[in-house]
Structure 1
Amino acid sequence: MVFISLRAGRYIHRFWGKCTLSLDSFCVFVYPVTFSSMMEIKVKDGSSLCTLVPDGEPHIMQSGSVSEDLRCSSISVKSTPEIEKKYVHRVYDAIAPHFSSTRFAKWPKVAAFLESLPTGSLILDAGCGNGKYLGLTPSCYFIGCDISAPLIKICADKGHEVLVADAVNLPYRTNFGDAAISIAVLHHLSTEGRRKKAIEELVRVVKKGGLVLMTVWAVEQEDKSLLTKWTPLTEKYVEEWIGPGSPRVRGPSPFTLESIPETEENGSQAHAKDSNDSLTENMQQSMCLTPQNADDVFVSKHGMSQQEYFVPWHLPYHRAEVSGASSGALANCLARKDDKKGAVVYDRYYHVFGEGELERLVSGMDNAVIVDKFYDKSNWCIILEKTL
């Protein structure tokens, strides 16, 4: 379903790829987006947009004359792993209204960054969620995108210019914007290649001299006790989900773990109290998956810090009934019931970042430099400037 808005028309030529349409000025946002097969969309200059969507997940390939070799070499990065489909995309689709109701407070440093941009700047929020940063600075122009169609609908209903898009394959023209932000997004990407590609995309779409702000959850949490309550993925589990091939469901295990408190900034005191209550769950009941021994919880056998986790979201029963998606998630072991809290519990995949990891991801880029990096509210943050 495509909706065309005439509100911010003069900017469409700056960001909507190479497509040339008959209208002089317009702005497009798209929701919801569903595909079921390989599609090829021809555009005026003879290039095409290709998408292969095996499971209803939109993957918009960039237009332009790109060699087949380059397309093949990047397919593994642009193809969404199953762990992200099941424990990021479907989760946020199911919890979107409830998630949105808890996301209204702005991080001061993100707000300060946006307010520091020149009047008239065109800003992209990649992974905009419910759009809480869209329109924050009235003197600037904002557009947003997110992989979750329900969240994009929430943004569109507020009047924002948004569309459904994948962070590793942004459907915007190179050099279109003055700045871009990616707030709490990269940690949902399950491979280093995809995280690096998402950063490259953010830099690509801003013009020379443009700024990019990114924030991610940190391994180095201010509240160290949280690490004892997070559900870690074992090395074998990571290989199965993040490596090639389909994930496999494991059998029952007597090993139990506590549920993970919600650590994102949250203006809802009730939700914060709910998430901070610890609850021991049997992993067969919760996800049908479990670490094999206690050594896997914090440090791998190679001495590497644990960075792959599941983080729960407690969706109240009355919200779950409204959404309608929870019954299928429960049946497929993608969510679990918590009768004590009266909620359906969804687990979200996170790769938490260690100190210096963001800098290492951008160290090989020849078109951007780091202009600032800082730690804020258990997040690592970085600001890049495009140089070429």
Structure 2
Amino acid sequence: MKQINTKSDESYITHNSSSAAASAPPAAASSISVKSTPEIEKKFVHHVYDAIAPHFSSTRYAKWPKVAEFLQNLHPGSLILDAGCGNGKYLGFNQDCFFIGCDISPSLIKICLDRGNEVLVADAVNLPYRTGFGDAAISIAVLHHLSTENRRRKAIEELVRVVKKGGLVLITVWAVEQEDEALVKKWTPLAEKYVEEWQGPGSPRATRVSSSLSLESIPESEESGLGGEEMKVCDKSEISGDLKEEKNVKNQQEYFVPWHLPYHRAEVSGASAHALATGLATKDDVKGAVVYNRYYHVFSEGELESLTNGITNARVVDQFFDKSNWCIILEKTS
């Protein structure tokens, strides 16, 4: 199979310099802010995947049938862009096609490189490919790690931008409607008060909290939602609080999902030591593991499709629910 040298052939890469961003006109300001990574993603997505990369990779080898079907049905010779390729398990899946992958995690990209894949480090909301470069693109289990609606929409726009007219884009995300409810009970729901931390001051959804609080400094007892004080005013407040809590559970979409890195893993002595020292990870002596929290925004039915409403050069050709994931296939129309 022909190899595309990403190290020397830069004809497909678009360069974005910091000086260009600094001199951008006011109209571009919102676009630049969307590309600025919120702290919650840096700490609880980027840092975590770099720390757990080898262990994570060892668990990621099975191909989802729906993704395999999509890749297998593409025309021979197609160039497929895998945005958020992880350990590269889909790269080269269809031997009649060419693959280029990218991921925000240098540690995962190194694993891909060691396997001989064509990859580079890149952000899903700012893909480094020229417009119309690929014949198809996939984004598998990536968008749920983006912490704002604007960033999730921007990632979809980027996937559409980098494929040719008529090109297909497959996107999968974790769903609110998880088939294994016991699994969800192991997740930590993030309360509304966290929103300001990752969206920034002035967010219409944000509630005011002390600027001195950080995500890891808030006691675990508060992470489940309502504080105890506002539920003890009177009987009427208790009823109202109970109803509010029930509504929050049903509508909950922001979570920390734990990853247990066993003590015997070699990487525990590296990044994990620093994470434990700084409070970004904890020890679970019962399970013999260092526990990392990964940020997830799980998607409700119709939410993924709604993010495409403002994208005028793409149409939805298929959408479906598969293995606790919402999935969508887009076609670029112009």
* Separation (CA, whole Å) in 2 of partners of 1:297 and 1:97: 38
- Asked if 2 retains the 8 angstrom alpha-carbon contact of 1:311 and 1:349, the reply is yes
Counterpart among 145, 150, 158 of residue 193 in structure 1: 150
| Matched positions, count | 308
Residue number in structure 1 paired with 2:323: 377
Structure 2: segments with no counterpart, 5+ residues = 203-210, 229-241
Residue number in structure 2 paired with 1:8: 4
Counterpart among 178, 190, 194 of residue 221 in structure 1: 178
CA deviations 1:86-126 (Å, max 9, x no partner) are 00000000000000000000001100000000000000000
Residue number in structure 1 paired with 2:293: 347
CA deviations 1:233-259 (Å, max 9, x no partner) are 11112233333397723766573xxxx
Counterpart among 350, 353, 362 of residue 308 in structure 2: 362
Residue number in structure 1 paired with 2:196: 239
Task: Please say which of residues 244-253 and 332-341 is displaced more in the overlay.
Answer: 244-253
CA deviations 1:212-235 (Å, max 9, x no partner) are 000000001112333333210111
* Separation (CA, whole Å) in 1 of partners of 2:212 and 2:70: 40
Residue number in structure 1 paired with 2:235: none
**2:78 is equivalent to residue 86 of structure 1:** no
* Separation (CA, whole Å) in 2 of partners of 1:131 and 1:293: 43
- Asked if 1 retains the 8 angstrom alpha-carbon contact of 2:226 and 2:245, the reply is no
CA deviations 1:195-224 (Å, max 9, x no partner) are 000000000000000000000000011123
**SS of structure 1 residue aligned to 2:93:** coil
* Separation (CA, whole Å) in 2 of partners of 1:252 and 1:14: 47
- 1:109-148 equivalent positions in 2, closer than 5 A: 109-148=66-105
- Asked if 2 retains the 8 angstrom alpha-carbon contact of 1:298 and 1:306, the reply is no
Residue number in structure 1 paired with 2:54: 97
- Asked if 2 retains the 8 angstrom alpha-carbon contact of 1:15 and 1:177, the reply is no
* Separation (CA, whole Å) in 1 of partners of 2:140 and 2:227: 34
**SS of structure 1 residue aligned to 2:17:** strand
Q: Normalising by the residue count of structure 2, what TM-score does the alignment of the two structures yield?
A: 0.85
Residue number in structure 2 paired with 1:170: 127
Residue number in structure 1 paired with 2:111: 154
Q: Normalising by the residue count of structure 1, what TM-score does the alignment of the two structures yield?
A: 0.74
* Separation (CA, whole Å) in 2 of partners of 1:236 and 1:13: 44
Which AA in structure 1 matches 2:26? D
The verdict on how the C-alpha distance between 1:156 and 1:254 changes in structure 2, with shifts beyond 3 A counting, is closer
Which AA in structure 2 matches 1:248? L
TM-aligned CA deviation for residue 67 of structure 1: 4.9
The verdict on how the C-alpha distance between 1:372 and 1:164 changes in structure 2, with shifts beyond 3 A counting, is same
The verdict on how the C-alpha distance between 1:157 and 1:323 changes in structure 2, with shifts beyond 3 A counting, is farther
- Asked if 1 retains the 8 angstrom alpha-carbon contact of 2:282 and 2:291, the reply is yes
* Separation (CA, whole Å) in 2 of partners of 1:290 and 1:355: 23
* Separation (CA, whole Å) in 1 of partners of 2:178 and 2:130: 37
The verdict on how the C-alpha distance between 1:253 and 1:200 changes in structure 2, with shifts beyond 3 A counting, is closer
CA deviations 1:314-360 (Å, max 9, x no partner) are 00112255550011111111100001111100000000000000110
* Separation (CA, whole Å) in 1 of partners of 2:148 and 2:138: 20
TM-aligned CA deviation for residue 189 of structure 1: 0.1
Counterpart among 50, 55, 74 of residue 17 in structure 2: 50
- Asked if 1 retains the 8 angstrom alpha-carbon contact of 2:187 and 2:258, the reply is no
The verdict on how the C-alpha distance between 1:293 and 1:50 changes in structure 2, with shifts beyond 3 A counting, is same
Residue number in structure 1 paired with 2:283: 337
The verdict on how the C-alpha distance between 1:247 and 1:92 changes in structure 2, with shifts beyond 3 A counting, is farther
Task: Please say which of residues 239-248 and 185-194 is displaced more in the overlay.
Answer: 239-248
- 1:22-37 equivalent positions in 2, closer than 5 A: none
- Asked if 2 retains the 8 angstrom alpha-carbon contact of 1:94 and 1:325, the reply is yes
- Asked if 1 retains the 8 angstrom alpha-carbon contact of 2:268 and 2:290, the reply is no
* Separation (CA, whole Å) in 2 of partners of 1:352 and 1:386: 25
* Separation (CA, whole Å) in 2 of partners of 1:380 and 1:373: 8
**SS of structure 2 residue aligned to 1:49:** coil
* Separation (CA, whole Å) in 1 of partners of 2:220 and 2:292: 21
CA deviations 1:19-50 (Å, max 9, x no partner) are xxxxxxxxxxxxxxxxxxxxxxxxxxxxx631
Which AA in structure 2 matches 1:123? I
**SS of structure 1 residue aligned to 2:31:** helix
Structure 1: segments with no counterpart, 5+ residues = 1-5, 18-47, 53-60, 256-282, 284-288
- Asked if 1 retains the 8 angstrom alpha-carbon contact of 2:261 and 2:268, the reply is no
CA deviations 1:31-84 (Å, max 9, x no partner) are xxxxxxxxxxxxxxxxx63149xxxxxxxx89xxx9523432212200000000
Residue number in structure 1 paired with 2:247: 299
